[in-house]
Amino acid sequence: MCTALCVSQAASAQTLAVPATQAIKSLSVVTVNASADASAGGLSPAYVGGQVARGGRAGILGTQDNMDTPFSITSYTNELIQDRQARSVGDVLQTDPGVRVARGFGNFQEAYFIRGFILSSDAVAYNGLYSLLPRQYIATELFERVEVLRGASAFLIGANPGSGGIGGAINLLPKRAPDETLSRVTTGTGSGSQANLAVDVARRFGPDNSTGIRVNAAARDGGTAVDHEKAKLGLLAVGLDWHSRDVRLSADIGYQNNNLRETRPSVSLSGVTSVPDAPDASANFAQPWSYANERDTFSTLRGEFDINNMLTAWAAYGLRRSSEANSLANLSVTNSTTGAGTTYRFDNTRKDAVDTGEIGIRGKLRIGAIGHEWVASASSFELETKNAFTFDFGNQRATGLYNPVSYALPAFSVTAVTANAGGPALNTRTKLRSFALGDTLSFLDNTLLLTLGARHQTLETQSFAVNTGVPGTPYSQSRTSPAAGAVYKLNKQVSFYGNYIEGLSKGDTAPATANSAPVTNRGDMLAPYVSKQKEVGVKYDGGRLGGAASLFSTTKPRAYTNAAQVFSAAGEDEHRGLELTAYGEARRGLKVLGGITWLDAKQKSTGSAATDDKRVIGVPRLQANLGAEWAVPAVQGLALDARLVYTGTSYADAANALRVSGWTRLDLGARYLMELQGRVVTLRARVDNVANRDYWASAGGSSGSGYLVVGAPRSFVLSASVDF
């Protein structure tokens, strides 16, 4: 039988994502060197405690150690994902003090506030390429790590295909076969009788284990902690990799089918002077016939070739094909005291086709005392969106936030508006093309690093009229986005850094009317919005405990219609902030992860005295996370964790008349590792929102919109993982 010492060493091995069975047999920690992106460097190693990595992907600059890069990056590991029993990207990012999870406009899509700017889940990158994974919800079985790059990133990874990404980018890394055999089955249950089953199998073959395959399959079905909600998910993903001395290849193919029934919708406010109190966290005001289905298939191929010991070339390609169908009935509250409001039926179908790729070459050279690590790349992105919809705004039904009224599925009225009645038709075609050059210069025996670069990018959009398919006025604009960053390494423990970098997004289109009058330049499309970020900070690596502090300021143009009825980009949003983060082990057996973000997000030169210098919708002044995990000394294999999440007050309107109360939430978890009949078994239990707080989790999630989302009630999940 295995002793307590065996279990202890198995737990240590799992910290490095190694199959615990192998750790028991060998009684030693096996280092995983499998690459997630077909690069020579492989994954950035985990920091002490195993919850975050030492660095992450800085776009075309490749994987960087945190102490060497002038940008702020946090990479959350698969160990953290498993131990917190996270089910989506949003669940993982509940841990990040600089990110708050919201919801996309009109549906159940995840969205993320990063430094106060919104990023939709369909703009998340996969292995460095945008928009390849499911558009609305990405299950954790599909990725190894979640990397958060804070700040603008046009030079590093190009303009976001949507209009977001100004405050940061999210990159997910695929799973690869580790050096040791992996055969893991996880089963669990949770609130609402939700049941789940996941299988994770990996093998390596051939000389020097040069070929790897990893297969992940998962199924979930059942209710949630919210009354009457139902969620069903199925997925399958296969990751392949192969390497020789000079060549590295990787490929992924995946499928996800996500189905939601009677999911609690967002809440809009109409004609009210205050925000209603949040309803009971478990209450559901969805219509019983509402649903949302999403089905996605994706694949990627990436290769890297060492031309010589100084030059490496790479190429990558990815695609996604997806289809969506839903019938929605969001709630619009018209009385804040009683919660009375209205709802109406809105049906939508959509199909997406994404094709994207990049090529590049990077090299090293030294000229005298100055070292150079240079890179050149070109990228291409194309998205075709087809849709059809019917909305029945003129057929409103009375309901309420606190006393909802359920209706049978209403037939569409004669006033309903229908687009593309025959099925999804081409609506928008988006193309992005870019070329980038960068160089990191090293001075003073690599203690001073200077990164310079620029990306020239062309944004093209072609819209097509509903029902007729007639092309609209094409949008084609170009812009060169520069970047500069510096790192000074005072010693091995302290690095000072600073950067100037820009973001880029498509400009808005002038509306037909504004201020109850026609707009003079209606239909005109504005030049791309250029956001500008300045940041300075310090990073600390004490060996077992790390952290960072940064000050930043980001400006983003905003548009409005002036007194002459001309629509133009004449104002801006200015986000200034301070970020403090900490991670690692405060002492042996006590892991910490968290931080504080202070934000001052203001609207500037809005064209209206009612909104000038007012706070941006949905952005609190203060948000903080404090996470700790304790390995209980008296019980070998037992670990307890706690996470405290605080989000300050925000506003649901541009004039700051609708104040949304702040909230604090406590989450608790436990993990127990044991040996059973020669197999390592990991038992996990978790309770989120322990106090069952009723709160508004977010306000907004789309520019200029202040809709509200109710926070999840107390919910629990139990799981058992067995390594064969």
Cβ neighbours for 496, distance < 8 A, ≥ 6 positions apart: 487, 488, 490, 536, 537, 538
151: phi > 0 → left, psi -120 to 50 → alpha, else beta; which? Answer: left
Alpha helices in 29-146 (DSSP H): 78-83, 89-93
Quote the percentage of the chain above a pLDDT of 90: 83
Q: Residue 105 — very low, low, confident or very high, per pLDDT cuts 50/70/90?
A: confident
Mean pLDDT over 118-136 rounds to: 93
pLDDT at 14 over 70: no
Whether the per-residue pLDDT at 5 is higher than 60: the answer is no
Q: Is the pLDDT of residue 16 over 50?
A: no
Sorting pLDDT into bands at 50, 70 and 90, what band is 36?
Answer: low
Which segments of 562-589 are extended strands (E)?
A: 567-587
* pLDDT category of residue 576 using cuts at 50, 70 and 90: very high
* pLDDT, position 551: 98
Query: Where are the strands (E) in 191-246, listed by range?
Result: 194-205, 211-223, 230-243
**H or E stretch covering 551:** strand 545-561
Query: Given this model, what pLDDT does residue 243 score?
Result: 93
Q: Can you name the CATH fold of 52-723?
A: Maltoporin; Chain A (2.40.170)
Q: pLDDT class for 561, splitting at 50, 70, 90?
A: confident
Residue 101 and residue 94 in contact, taking contact as beta carbons nearer than 8 Å: yes
Q: 187 is written with which tokens?
A: 């089963």
Question: Does the pLDDT of residue 453 top 90, yes or no?
Answer: yes
Amino acid letter for position 42: G
Backbone angles phi, psi at 639, to 5 degrees: -135, 140
Rounded CA-CA distance 716/175 in Å is: 27
How far apart, in Å, are the Cα atoms of 239 and each of 171, 303, 423, 578? 17, 14, 34, 39
Beta bridge partners of 359: 315, 378
HEC string of 13-32 equals HHHCCCCHHHHHHHCCCCCC
φ/ψ bin of 131: left (φ > 0), alpha (ψ from -120 to 50), beta (otherwise): left
Using one digit for the tens of pLDDT, what is the confidence trace for 267-310? 999 999 999 999 999 999 999 999 999 999 999 999 999 999 99
Is pLDDT at 130 greater than 50 in this prediction?
yes
pLDDT of residue 645: 98
What are the two backbone dihedrals, phi and then psi, of residue 90, each rounded to the nearest 5 degrees? Answer: -60, -40
What is the arithmetic mean of pLDDT over 484-501?
A: 98
DSSP assignment, residue 161?
Answer: S
Q: Which of 518, 529, 527, 522 is nearest to 556 (CA)?
A: 529
pLDDT at position 298, please?
97
The overall average pLDDT reported for the chain is 92
For the stretch 659-708, pLDDT in tens is 999 999 999 999 999 999 889 999 999 999 999 999 999 999 887 789 99
Report, as an integer, the average pLDDT of 506-512. Answer: 82
- Give mean pLDDT, residues 598-615: 93
What is the enclosing helix (H) or strand (E) of 156? helix 154-157
CB atoms within 10 A of CB 551: 15
Q: Is 402 exposed, middle or buried (0-12, 13-18, 19+ CB in 10 A)?
A: middle
Residue 682 · residue 720 · CB < 8 Å? yes
Q: What share of the chain is helix, strand, coil (3-state, %, to 5)?
A: 5, 55, 35
Sketch the domain layout of the chain as residue ranges. Answer: 52-723
- Contact between 2 and 110 (Cβ < 8 Å): no
pLDDT level of residue 131 (50, 70, 90 thresholds): very high
- Residue-level pLDDT at 3: 37
DSSP codes, 647-704 = E--EESSTTS-SEEPPEEEEEEEEEEEEEETTEEEEEEEEEESTT----EEEE-SSTT
- The pLDDT of residue 24 is above 70: no
Answer yes or no: is pLDDT of 116 > 50. Answer: yes
10 three-class SS:
helix
Long-range residue pairs from 411-420, CB within 8 A, at least 24 positions apart, any chain: 412/345, 416/390, 416/391, 416/392, 417/390, 417/391, 417/392, 417/393, 418/388, 418/389, 418/390, 419/387, 419/388, 419/389, 419/390, 419/466, 419/467, 420/387, 420/388, 420/389, 420/466, 420/467
Which of these, 563, 475, 557, 476, lies nearest to 519 by C-alpha position?
563
Helices and strands (DSSP H and E) totals, the chain: 5, 43
What SS3 class is residue 67? helix
pLDDT for position 35: 59
For residue 6, what is the enclosing H or E element? helix 4-15
Work out the pLDDT band at 523, boundaries 50, 70, 90: confident
Lowest model confidence (mean pLDDT) among 120-129, 353-362, 680-689: 120-129
Q: Are 669 and 85 in contact (CB under 8 A)?
A: yes
Q: What's the pLDDT score for residue 643? A: 98
Radius of gyration for the chain, computed over Cα atoms and rounded to the nearest angstrom: 25
Give pLDDT tens digits for 307-348: 999 999 999 999 999 999 999 999 999 999 999 999 999 999
Q: Please write the tens of the pLDDT for every residue from 376-385.
A: 999 999 999 9
Nearest to 241 by CA among 232, 251, 231, 233: 251
| pLDDT exceeds cutoff 60 at 25 | no
- Comparing CA positions, the residue from 677, 78, 35 lying closest to residue 302 is 35
Residue 255: pLDDT over 60: yes
